[in-house]
Structure 1
């Protein structure tokens, strides 16, 4: 993505270094914790779960600090580009876009949705309308999930902003009312639709970014590789050697790639009712 020198969002609360290190344990438990909460909306308290990977809280070298600062600049630019796109699209429909805040944290953080650690992965909290990202996830995408590239991370940010769009649309509030009112399997089906719609909205964003000639060769493939890597079927197969569709909360790899591509190819918000297409409306 062509991002160097572009505007950085000012809607950023940089808390890096405030949360401090957390205990290292991780393994498959930490990875599963990350995957459960990754892109889910941030309403799961994972503050007591172990942190997967990283250096165990050791101070960063100057080189590592410089690399992380560059990553921070990148996600700030991506957030600014989401602001550009969604302000324009909301304006076209006669609405005002309420911009979310991005919280950058290290190790652990408190949100209106509860406590979380880096094991939570990036998440969005509807309660305070903030996105939370520990930049160590940038490396997790490449090393753990085999999805390298800056646009893989851009997809993650755009997906979380997609959850913010759902909050502005009232969809997040409907999901909250469903919890406890339907069976867990039925709730999971709605969760899948929620996540796939956020993937679609990330694709819509990419469509308009491409229209500004900001995408580089291979960017869309990086996003699709990330979407493929975090499909429920693939993750369950890797973690437990079997797939349990009734427990899916995010959708299969094929579904996640499909909905991102649909948003990217059409740029048409009317094409993204995943709830209807999954037979939930």
Structure 2
């Protein structure tokens, strides 16, 4: 299912819903330790994690750009619906000119593939250079916990199926009106993309997975974070910056577009 196009700068932006990801509460951690984690979970009051998986379509005079690509068929029937959402919006895979990847996790990048081939025959794949450099170097696997090694397989598949069409990008402008914002911690090179305009939109990947719980207490993390301490620092910094700048935000696991407001020692994400 697709929603409604909304303008930010020179781009019309559409959320593409890929599915729902569910996980038990034991994937939650807290920078303050077990007692702080248990208190946060009790206060939250939910029996499990159930969050949307999103990617985004952008269109302007330069054609169609995606930010992330969903899971494809790799994560079961609850996900992999972004291609249907694209079709509903009238976007054919061959129309996609480029895909901006926030980081090389499966729920953001496996949708680049349709079985053993590239899904987007004409697209350039833009990847944060720090993420591709890390996951593209097999020697780094030995220093990576086994439950966080999925990015190596994703990087290898991108390199194989999009050979000659991959552009690693540093911090700063990656397209006219779009800037890469580094948000390390969830992965080594995890990043967001800021669509600049009179009203700007930050698509922040996985800076937050749980919009209510982690905004209220940014010290809450998930075991999927590569470096939990750095992820907390990035989360706090980007919440503060988005609130100060007045940016709207969304991401891989945020419902709709949100405005960030300060609230006590934390923040709130208000539907915008």
Per the normalisation by structure 2, the TM-score is: 0.26
Per the normalisation by structure 1, the TM-score is: 0.25
Structure with greater proportional helix content? 1
